[in-house]
Structure formats: structure tokens, C-alpha cells
Structure 1
Amino acid sequence: MSAQPDLFDRPLFQSRRKRALKGAKPGADFLLETVAEDLSDRLLLINRRFGTAVDLGGHTGRIAQAIADSGKAETVLRADLLVADPALPPPDLVCDDALLPFRDQSVDLIVSALNLQFVNDLPGCLVQIRRALRPDGLFLATLAGAGTLSELRDSLTRAELEIRGGAAARVMPFADTRDLGSLLQRAGFALPVTDIDTFTVRYDTLFALMADLRAMGATSVLRDRSRPPLNRQVLLRAAELYAENHADPDGRIRATFAFVTLLGWAPHDSQQKPLRPGSAKTRLADALGVPERKL
């Protein structure tokens, strides 16, 4: 059986991430800031402390700082993704989240923000994370999910079909909440939880949105992308279609970002477990107060 081809061009992703970090645009990390605040709130609700925590991504240091501020970890390691952030003190390590450098059962908490959607083998990555966690260790992550940039995908596809008679993939695919929850279970996490939050950001034009995506290092890194860039005619038509179909009454366009948060625990004997089938001591009919019917 042949291996599934890579979906993402990881060297290109590294290059664009490095470019975004070097030319950091003030305020361009507003989505990461929103996600960091949400992950911090979730950590505060967890009634326990962790020994060693890892910020798996490191970008801007927001997640490492959020973990430290929560008081939930004794030691916080910042693992910058692929390249060190030049705007911050040196990280504890630079690594690839697709190939984790941690020993099995060596850390207690791993937190990732807006990185894992670029991993080619997400199921394998989740298995690595679960193995790196000590028993009863926690994995907490947010990544872009289905629905993200749907307006941009629609506008670019329609413009390219109209002008060129065919369209290439310009916006990367995103997994939905159900699929991501299934991946957590397959990776062996206990008590898996997934939920989704949708944010709408408004821009003056499509070009302002694309400038923000470049500043975030979040433009398409699909391996099978069309190599020639879109020409001016297609981009201008896409901007027109975006304004016609995805604008508010004041003329500003909408961009949707759907963020899926994953939470899972490394298995431990102290955790709650589902009852075995047939082990219930109370009939469902009695609990509901209705007569039992035999089929």
C-alpha cells in the first residue's frame, strides 16, 4: 500500500513563517492573541498543576506567557516552530511539530496554537504528542477548522473559473470538528473534547485580507498548488465577487475564521471510565418512569 502524498509543502511553510517573523507587522497576530486568551481561560478552569509544560509553536511567546501566568505549570518550555522568533529571547528549543523531539512520558502539558493545521500527518503527530505526555498529562490545542476563509475560497474559485475556465486550489482544506475528535480518540487520548468558535473579521478589501494572511505567515502552502501566481485580472475580479457576495451594508467584507479547540488526556487509572455494557444496576425504564416495552 503506497503512502499518502504530502498535502503541504513544509519547506515553503518554514520559509514563509521565517519571513513573517522577520518582518513582523504590529497587530498581525490578533488571531493568535485571541486564541491565547481562550486557551489561558481553559487552563484556569483545570483544577490541577503540571510539572513540565511545552508551548509547541512559540510564535510571539504568547502561549508560553499564558501558561506561566496561569500558575498551572512549574516549568514552561518554549518550543519555537521550525525557526527561532528573532523578536524574543532564545527559545528552549526549535523543533518541527511533525517530528517531536520529546521522550515518551517526559512532559505533563503540551499546548499548541494555530500550527497543527499545517501538519501533513496529523494522526501521527497526535500519537507522538500523546506518547510524550506522562500519564494524566494534558494536551490542549487550537487549530483552524472547516469554514475558515470560506468567503476567500469562494471568490477566488469563481473568479478563476470565469476568466481561465478552470480553478486551482488556492485556500487549504480544513478538518471539521467531528473528524478532529475522532483523531483524538484514535491517537489514544482519554476523555477527548472538541469544540468550535467562529470569528468574523471585517476588511475594506480582499487585498487587505491577503496582506494580513501574508503577515501571519498563513498563505497557502499546498504542495499541489498552481505555481504561477494569480494575475491582476483574476485578483481584481475576485475582489469584485467578494464585495458583491460577502460584504456588509457598509461595504466592508467579512472573513470567517473557525477555530477548533482540542483537549485530551494521556490515559491514567484515576480517570473516569465508561461502564461496561450490561453493567448498569438500574433499568432505563425505571429511571425515566415509563413502562418497559419488550420488542
Structure 2
Amino acid sequence: MNVFDRKAKRLQRDRSTTLPNFEESQYVKEEIGYRTYDRLLDIKREFDVAVDLGCGLGYVSRHITKDTAKLIYQCEMSEKLLKKAEVSPEVPTYKLIVDEEFLPFKDKSLDVVVSSLSLHWVNDLPGCFKAVQKSLKPDRPFIGSMFGGDTLFELRVSLQLAEQELQGGISPHISPFTDVRDLGNLLNRAGFTMLTIDVDEVKSSYDDMLSLMMDLKGMGENNCVWTRRPMLHRNTIELAEKKYREMYSTEEGLEATFQIVNFIAWSPDPSQPKPLQRGSAKFSLKDIERIDELTKDVKSLEEELDKGLNPKKDK
């Protein structure tokens, strides 16, 4: 099922590059891109081939050095955005126009794939994850970040209340985002192992609701859901602004929340550690307060058993 109009999203990203607030509205993507790069540094390996999927302005790959990768492919569906993307000063970089829903890479050809704040616009997310997993060599990481379900809940609630009051119904103005639990399930189903998922929040303040909406347009994050309404009526915006101020106003202005779901997933390999079998645990969680005492008892029993099996050990 197609939720997003991918052609509209490409056009939105193209047009964002011509807006006067384009550069200054990239603050969230620049911050999360650097954090994603920092997670890459936690993996003490040197990768031959790296892919920055949905690279935008090179939010991740611009930071990568020759100690981390030997070659980078920057992949972006918007040609105009790709032309503006910054590249690593140390690593040879190739720019490719690539739709995240149709990856062109051969099976087991990549050493690491990174993606920062791009995959939330993909219709077939399970298919995209599966394609990434097949493209990675065994025991290689997929490191990414996506907007989570609570992103821009303030704006969403304000618009819904205004439309419900004025028009007797609501339409989607904010993209539906992937839930944390769903993301883990999707990565597992795609064949990834050893998942690590955590959640961050970035909060910003705005003078008014239109300033927030203009920043979203500058990021290329305006709505592209197929069922979206073509325009917002002025009275709807005015009432939504009023409700926004009533519910989410702070001393700094109107607060906007960006929830970030970060993940690291690994392509499978026989050398990876396996989970213990069910029932093999030595202790129960209900005995956690007595863990020191129980550990001593287990060691004592093991020593007695060892002596019984090896009677000559004490002689």
C-alpha cells in the first residue's frame, strides 16, 4: 500500500533548495547526521565501501574520514539536493541518484550503510530493509535514524482540533511515523540481527506556527501523504495557532518536538554470538536482590562437583 506520493516528495526536496531559509532550516538534520556519524565511530572497523542512503546535504558522509571508510556512495532521490551535498574531505565520494525504494547495489557488496532522517518517507519499508540487508556483506552494520511517532505531536494535535471544530473532520497534515516497536520487528523480519534501538528528542521553539511550517518546508519535510488536502484555510491556521499557544506555549515560544529513533542492525553471520537457550539461566530475576549470595552458592556447588569428578585434584 502506497501511503506517500514519492514524486511529490522528490519535487518538495528539489524546491526546498531554492527557498531563502533553506540553509538555516537544516539544524535538526545536521545535528542528527552528526550523531549518526558518531555512532559509526563506535564500531572500531575500517570499511571498504560505505553508502549514505538518503544523504540529503551529506549530513553523515561529510564527517567520514579515511580511517573509517575507503569509498563512499552518496545516494539521494533529489538531483538538486544531491548536487549541493557536501562530501568527505578525505574519502573518494560518488554521487548517485537513487530512490530508497529501489536500491541498485549487488548482493553482499557493501560494508556499511548509514541513513539519517530519510527512511520515514519510504512506502515499502520492509522491502527497503530487506534490500539493504541483502546488499551488505555478512556481519556488517546498518546504522540509521528516523523520525519517531511523537514527532511534531504539538502541531498535529493543534491542526486536528482546529479542523474538527471548523470542518467536522480531520485530514493528515503530518506524516505517519514508524513506532519504536514496529521498527524492531521490521528489522528482524528483514533478516537483521543484534539490534540496538534507542530514542532521542530534539526540541525547538518558534515565534509562531507559520515559522515552524516554513522550516519544515525548508527541510523538505512538508507533507506528501496521498490523502492530504491541497491547502489549509486561513481560519483553520488561525484557530490552530490559538490552540497551539494554549497547549504548548513556553517562555521561549511555541515548542516543537522531534522524536528521533536511532538503530544499529547487523547482517547475519555464523560467527555472531547466539542467544542462550530458554531455561538455561542460573538465576531468576525475582532473586536479583540476592545475586551476591546466590553467586557464592553456585561457585561452592561447582567446586564440590569439580572435586567429586576429579578426586586427585586435592592430592
TM-score computed with the length of structure 1 as normaliser: 0.90
| Residue 86 of structure 1 pairs with residue 88 of structure 2 | no
Give the aligned partner of residue 217 of structure 1. 220
Deviation of 1:86 after TM superposition, in Å, equals 3.2
How much has 1:63 moved relative to structure 2? Answer: 1.4
- SS of 2:223's partner is coil
Which of 238, 241, 252 is residue 240 of structure 2 equivalent to? Answer: 238
Q: Distance in 1 between matches of 2:23 and 2:33?
A: 17
Q: How far apart are residue 154 of structure 1 and its match?
A: 0.5
Letter in 2 for 1:276: Q
Q: Deviations over 1:16-38 (max 9, x none)?
A: 01111243622111111111111
Structure 1 segments, 4+ long, off by >3 Å, are: 88-91, 285-291
Counterpart check, 1:196 vs 2:192: no
Please identify which structure carries the higher helix content.
2
Q: Which residue of 2 aligns with 1:120?
A: 123
The aligned residue for residue 306 of structure 2 is none
Q: CA deviation at 1:87?
A: 2.4
Q: Which residue of 2 aligns with 1:161?
A: 164
Deviations 1:102-141 (A, max 9, x none): 1110101000111100000111110110000001111001
Q: Which residue of 1 aligns with 2:107?
A: 104
Q: Mark the runs of 5 or more structure 1 residues left unpaired by the alignment.
A: none
Asked if the contact 1:157–1:167 (Cα under 8 Å) also holds between the matched residues in 2, the reply is yes
**How far 1:276 moved relative to its partner?**
2.9
Aligned to 1:76: 72
Q: Can you list the C-alpha shifts for 1:175-204, whole angstroms capped at 9, x where unaligned?
A: 121111111111110101111101111000
User: 2 CA distance for matches of 1:235 and 1:157?
Assistant: 11
Partner of 1:130: 133
Aligned-pair identity in percent equals: 35
What is aligned with 1:60?
A: 57
- Could you say what the CA RMSD is over the residues aligned between the two structures, in angstroms? 2.1
**Structure 2 residue runs without a partner (length 5+):** 87-92, 298-315
Q: Is 2:120–2:177's contact at 8 Å kept on the other side of the alignment?
A: yes
Corresponding residue for residue 10 of structure 2 = 14
Q: Deviations for 1:16-65, whole angstroms, at most 9, x for unmatched residues?
A: 01111243622111111111111121111111111100111121122111
Q: 1:178 aligns with which of 165, 181, 202?
A: 181
Deviation at 1:244, TM superposition (A): 1.1
* Counterpart secondary structure, 1:284: coil
How many residues were matched structurally?
Answer: 283
- Summarize deviations over 1:57-95 as a string: whole Å, max 9, x none: 1211221112x2373111111112342423247952110
Once residues 274 and 21 of structure 1 are traced to their aligned partners in structure 2, the CA distance between those partners, rounded to angstroms, is 47
1:33-44 to 2 correspondence within 5 Å? 33-44=30-41
Change (3 A) 1:10 1:211: same
Of structures 1 and 2, the larger Rg is shown by: 2
Q: Distance in 2 between matches of 1:251 and 1:47?
A: 41
**Distance in 2, Cα, partners of 1:156 & 1:75:** 45
What secondary structure is seen at the aligned counterpart in 1 of 2:13?
helix
